[in-house]
Amino acid sequence: MDQLSRLTAEQRANLVAYLDGELGESETSEIESVLAHSAVARNDVEHLARTYDLLDLLPRAKASEDFTERTMATVRMSDVRPDITQSEWYRRARRGSVLLLWTLVMAAASSVSFLVTRKFVHNDADVFVRDFEVIDRLDVYREVDSVEFLEVLSGPKGAVLDDIRTRRGRETVD
Amino acid sequence: MLRVKEGDEAAFAKLVTTYQDRLISIFRNLVGDQEAAEDLTQDLFLRIYRARHGYEPNAKLSTWVFRIAANLASNSRRSKGRRKEVQLKSSESGPLGVRPAEKLLADKSSLMPSRQFDRQEMQKLVREALESLNERQRMALLLHKFEGMSYADIGEAMELSPQAVKSLLSRARESLRTRLENMIR
């Protein structure tokens, strides 16, 4: 290989893995052979290694002093189940339930009272409703003045005329 | 963790002290500030504690912990994105941000080969280079650098194949090399 020849994309990708000791045996010997023959590859690998060393400059942060304590307290808190009876929504729900219960009780009591009253207590108005048709025509019925005529009225069609003719005929004879 | 599963609080406290600095370091380099990193770490421990009953020792504990960390970091970034928070650096606090000429000057300055980098400045440049990577590259890189995790373990933590981790790390390191070229000459 030419001392200055460029590396293939795969060889370049393998350079990093080579530095990290992540290549298999055959790939390692291939890269070592490339490195032995190419100054460009040696330069690349050296730059990659030095770049990687620069990452040592990155800050290695430390936890603040009370971090462990705070974390343990948070964890303990997560274990404690909150008392739901103390929460606002629970109090509201409870108040709502009581109100709903009372409403249902009142509605049930009203229904029962209505049914009982309807069944056992007689009302004068019921009589009026039942006999409304008679009451409505009471004046006419009073004018009739004869039970027989009423019977004729309730009889078959044309019976009224026959009855009137019979009466008139009887009056003429007399 | 098995003792934690059985309700041993002291074992959980030990787990917290073992992992807290390591996790905060990773989160700090992912999210950029200490307070947010501590909040995420605390959230992570809370999740571990809540999930303790379902814990099965199928994978290494550290891999399991860092898998939760990777998910948490990803969720945090998504929710941050939803809030559309824009954090300006102090130098960009003007109404129009950095003026092009100023940026050019700063870029040129950092390109000067003779320039001596002091440690703080180097730290800043490395941090900026890291921030230029995408979140997955950053996470993989931090797990590798800070935790010394193998590609297989990183893959397990990030739900990727070792081949994908190899490719992710290769691109990340190439990108860093390009950005930090002046510092390594």
Ordered by start, the domain boundaries in chain B are 1-84, 116-180
Alpha-carbon distance of B60 to B48, in angstroms, equals 14
Closest chain B residue to the Cα of A79, Cα to Cα: B50
Note whether B41 contacts A: Cβ–Cβ < 8 A. yes
Q: Indicate whether A21 and A50 sit together in one domain.
A: yes
As for how many domains chain A has, the answer is 3
Q: List CB contacts (< 8 A) between B38 and chain A.
A: 63-64, 67
The CATH code for residues B1-84 is: 1.10.1740.10
Alpha-carbon distance of A19 to A16, in angstroms, equals 5
For residue B21, give how far its alpha carbon lies from the nearest alpha carbon of chain A (Å): 5
For residue A14, give how far its alpha carbon lies from the nearest alpha carbon of chain B (Å): 8
For residue A1, give how far its alpha carbon lies from the nearest alpha carbon of chain B (Å): 23
Q: Is residue B153 over pLDDT 70?
A: yes
Q: How many CB atoms lie within 10 A of CB A77?
A: 10
Q: Is residue B93 over pLDDT 60?
A: no
Among the residue ranges A134-148, B111-125, B152-166, the one predicted with the least confidence is B111-125
Long-range residue pairs from B35-42, CB within 8 A, at least 24 positions apart, any chain: B36/B76, B37/A61, B38/A63, B38/A64, B38/A67, B40/B69, B40/B72, B40/B73, B40/B76, B41/A63, B41/A67, B41/A71, B42/A67, B42/A70, B42/A71, B42/A74
CB nearest B16 (choices: A55, A57, A68):
A68
CB nearest A51 (choices: B24, B37, B177):
B177
Query: Is A73 inside a domain boundary?
Result: no
Q: List CB contacts (< 8 A) between B46 and chain A.
A: 71, 74-75, 78
Q: What is the pLDDT of residues A124-140, one digit of tens each?
A: 777 788 888 888 888 87
Length of chain B measured in residues: 185
Q: Indicate whether A13 and A46 sit together in one domain.
A: yes
Query: Is A76 inside a domain boundary?
Result: no
Alpha-carbon distance of B79 to B27, in angstroms, equals 15
Q: Is residue A86 over pLDDT 80?
A: no
| Contact state of B24 with A61 under an 8 Å Cβ cutoff | yes
Alpha-carbon distance of B135 to B103, in angstroms, equals 25
Closest chain A residue to the Cα of B169, Cα to Cα: A16
Query: Is A17 inside a domain boundary?
Result: yes
Query: Is A62 inside a domain boundary?
Result: no
Q: How many CB atoms lie within 10 A of CB B48?
A: 21
What pLDDT, on a 0 to 100 scale, did the predictor assign at position B97? 45
Domain B116-180 has CATH 1.10.10.10: yes
Query: Is A65 inside a domain boundary?
Result: no
Query: Is A152 inside a domain boundary?
Result: yes
For residue A4, give how far its alpha carbon lies from the nearest alpha carbon of chain B (Å): 19
Q: Indicate whether A30 and A51 sit together in one domain.
A: yes
Residues of A with CB under 8 A from a CB of B: 12-17, 20, 22, 47-48, 50-52, 54-55, 57-64, 67-68, 70-72, 74-76, 78
Q: Indicate whether A167 and A130 sit together in one domain.
A: yes
Q: What is the number of alpha carbons within 13 Å of residue B1 lying toward its C-beta?
A: 21
Q: What is the number of alpha carbons within 13 Å of residue A1 lying toward its C-beta?
A: 19
Asked if the interface predicted TM-score (ipTM) of this complex is over 0.85, the answer is no
**Average pLDDT score over residue span B9-36:** 90
Confidence of residue A80 (pLDDT cuts 50, 70, 90): low
Long-range residue pairs from A29-38, CB within 8 A, at least 24 positions apart, any chain: A33/A1, A34/A1, A34/A7, A37/A1, A37/A2, A37/A3, A38/A1, A38/A2, A38/A3, A38/A4, A38/A5, A38/A7
B61-83 and B135-147 helices, crossing angle to 10°: 150
Q: Indicate whether A116 and A129 sit together in one domain.
A: no
User: Under 8 Å CB-to-CB from B138, ≥6 apart: which residues?
Assistant: B29, B30, B130, B131, B172
Best to test chain B binding among A28, A31, A50, A54 (most B CBs inside 10 Å): A54
Query: Is A136 inside a domain boundary?
Result: yes
Q: Is residue B108 over pLDDT 70?
A: no
Question: Structural domain of residue A116, as residue ranges?
Answer: 84-120
Q: What is the number of alpha carbons within 13 Å of residue A127 lying toward its C-beta?
A: 3
